[in-house]
Chain A
Amino acid sequence: SQKIEQNSEALNIQEGKTATLTCNYTNYSPAYLQWYRQDPGRGPVFLLLIRENEKEKRKERLKVTFDTTLKQSLFHITASQPADSATYLCAPLSGGYNKLIFGAGTRLAVHP
């Protein structure tokens, strides 16, 4: 069955450093992959979408890579700030379908 793996342990980093979060998937070949941010008690907020033919995508301090050979996406936040503290969810999406299935998410804590 399709499986999405994100680091279950929280990632603690110092303000100003780069945070790198990992999303691995198995048993399917998504055409797209989306990343969301979720704050406690709130709904997910869309951040970025990357397509299978794109190796990298950037938006301000965010960068996402998509390696279809490794079946992995990396999500980077550069110059991290305490306000970036949240849970980050990845959602690989197969072409032809519009159903997002989320990973369990990785909690990021940025310390001043």
Chain B
Amino acid sequence: EPEVTQTPSHQVTQMGQEVILRCVPISNHLYFYWYRQILGQKVEFLVSFYNNEISEKSEIFDDQFSVERPDGSNFTLKIRSTKLEDSAMYFCASSEKKPSNYGYTFGSGTRLTVV
């Protein structure tokens, strides 16, 4: 079964450093998303991406965040200057259609720890 692949699985970074989280969505999917989950809290929407541009973003997704699809396969989330409160699991997801009978497919996540 096709999967969404995220790397790295765990990233530790110092406060103020830039991080890039990487995702390879399912190849025929057209819609891409980033979500985050702070430990013990709910899964929160960050941003959706379609046709090479952001289609929607949440209040969390401020100027410190950016997304990019640099080639036909990768989808990245960059945090420019990390803060302690950015520590969370970050999930990438993709979907074939809007909406889809198949729902969204999520990756296994990247656990980001800011120290």
Identify the A interface with B (CB < 8 A). Answer: 32, 34, 36, 38, 41-47, 49, 89, 93, 97-105
| Contacting pair A102 B99 (CB below 8 A) | no
User: In the bound complex, what is the Cα–Cα distance between A41 and B39 (angstroms)?
Assistant: 9
Within 8 A of A (CB), among B73-115: 89, 91, 93, 95, 98-109, 111
| Residue from B33, B42, B44, B107 having most chain A Cβ neighbours under 10 A | B42
CB of B55 within 8 Å of the partner chain: yes
Given A99-B56, A101-B45, A103-B42, A93 and B106 contact (CB-CB distance below 8 Å) = no
Chain B residue contacts of A97, Cβ below 8 A: 56, 98
| Contacting pair A102 B103 (CB below 8 A) | no
Sample of 7 A–B contacts (CB below 8 Å):
A38-B43, A41-B109, A41-B111, A42-B108, A43-B93, A49-B99, A98-B31
Chain B residue contacts of A105, Cβ below 8 A: 42-43
Chain A residue contacts of B99, Cβ below 8 A: 32, 34, 49, 93, 98
User: In the bound complex, what is the Cα–Cα distance between A41 and B93 (angstroms)?
Assistant: 15
User: In the bound complex, what is the Cα–Cα distance between A42 and B50 (angstroms)?
Assistant: 25
| Contacting pair A43 B108 (CB below 8 A) | yes
1/0 per residue, CB under 8 A from A, across B30-48: the answer is: 0101000000011111001
User: In the bound complex, what is the Cα–Cα distance between A101 and B59 (angstroms)?
Assistant: 13
Chain B residue contacts of A99, Cβ below 8 A: 33, 45, 48, 56
